[in-house]
Chains A and B, each alone.
Chain A
Amino acid sequence: MKERTIWERIADNLRSRSIWMLHYCTGCGAVELPPSMTSRFDMERFGIMPMATPRQADILLITGYLNTKTLRRVIYTYEQMPDPKYVVGFGSCTINGGIYFDSYATVNRLDYYIPVDVYIAGCMPRPEAILEAFNYLMEKIRKGEANGWKRYKENYEWYKQNQIRSLGEVYVHDEFHE
């Protein structure tokens, strides 16, 4: 891989210390986020802050099962986020479909559709596991290894093919998008 310049390294260091997180709470695992954010585990001491809009967020946190309908919106959301952006897949549903592996509407692995930097295993993961994962993500950002957004650009055709194969069409037809 290309050697990073000193400025990129500084930037990565700073990025890793102020991650704004868009939590796309699709599934039951989302219930572990309030304790992680509030006083007991206090995520914000690491510089992790919840963010309401994709256009200001660095992390897309997907907390559980995704069905086809949601996945379309998630892809929209992901594409609205500015680079660099990181995706955290949360819970076994994002890894292999979890207990919904045989459902007619639930996708079975998230990294097939958008690039995932860190997975958190568990159904559902404890706040400790969440903090551990964020620590790991920060480490990866500092080392310049959290390259999901670059992979998405380089392999855009592959991701698009997968999306279309499972969803039929990524375009969303509803009253908010037309």
Chain B
Amino acid sequence: MTNSMNEAIEALGAFQPTIEVIDEREIKVSVSPDKVISTLELLKSLGYSHLSLLTCIDWIDDNQFELVYILFSWKDGGKFIVSTRIDRNNPRFVTVKEIWPVARFYEREIHEFFGVKFIGNDDMRPLFLELWDDKPPLRKDFDPLEYSKKKFPGREYRKDVLGEAKKIFRGEING
């Protein structure tokens, strides 16, 4: 851990985060949803000013979405992963587009692929999908194979009778 990371962890103490050291320059900080914005602002002021990624994970068994903010420092290459969990049934969170303007695209993407709404960001137009007509595709309860079968007919192959006869002969499958 670099010095500036130690300092940052000390400064974060007030938010009672769960801290997990992943490797030398990478630390995961889990905080409760109401403390995320202040955590992010604090880290930004400490030099972790580059939002590398904002993404979402579907923990379907816990009925939660995990929002993950990855912050990078150009001073010493340190990385903070700030994560929080929100309710999956009513997924809403506040936008960070005031802190990092680029976040509005990440938020559009998460809205499109997970269905999380970001309050304060009213540009929620689809970013990648066109004419999407099902539940958000990266949710764990969405079945891509089923959807693909319904939407995109596949090729039908003739049955390989000879090949199968050989397998039966060799005893690999039951005839």
Contact = CB atoms under 8 A, between A and B. Distances in A.
Interface of A: 68-69, 72, 95-97, 101-109, 112, 162, 165-169, 173
A95 B145 CA distance: 17
The range of chain B's interface size is 10 to 19
Given A102-B144, A102-B145, A102-B148, A108 B131 contact: no
A120 B166 CA distance: 28
Contacts of B145: 102
B131 A103 contact: no
A166 B128 contact: no
Contacts of B134: 104
Contacts of B142: 104
Given A168-B133, A169-B131, A103 B151 contact: no
A104 B154 contact: no
Contacts, number: 51
A166 B151 contact: yes
A151 to B, nearest CB: 17
28 contacts: A69-B128, A69-B129, A69-B130, A95-B155, A97-B154, A101-B148, A102-B148, A103-B148, A104-B137, A104-B147, A104-B148, A104-B151, A105-B129, A105-B137, A106-B148, A106-B152, A108-B154, A109-B154, A109-B155, A112-B153, A162-B153, A165-B151, A166-B152, A167-B131, A168-B131, A168-B133, A169-B131, A173-B130
Given A97-B148, A102-B144, A108-B148, 6 more contacts: A68-B131, A72-B130, A105-B129, A109-B153, A109-B155, A166-B151
Contacts of B154: 96-97, 101, 108-109
Contacts of A107: 152
Contacts of B131: 68, 167-169
Given A69-B128, A103-B144, A104-B147, A97 B133 contact: no
B75 to A, nearest CB: 37
Contacts of B137: 104-105
A108 B152 contact: yes
Contacts of A72: 130
Interface of B: 128-131, 133-134, 137, 142, 144-145, 147-148, 151-155
Contacts of B155: 95-96, 108-109
Contacts of A109: 152-155
Nearest to A173: B130
Contacts of A104: 134, 137, 142, 144, 147-148, 151
A69 B130 CA distance: 6
Cβ-closest 8 pairs across A and B = A102-B145, A168-B131, A104-B144, A108-B154, A108-B152, A104-B137, A107-B152, A96-B155
Chain B CB within 10 A, most for which of A105, A106, A108? A105
B148 to A, nearest CB: 5
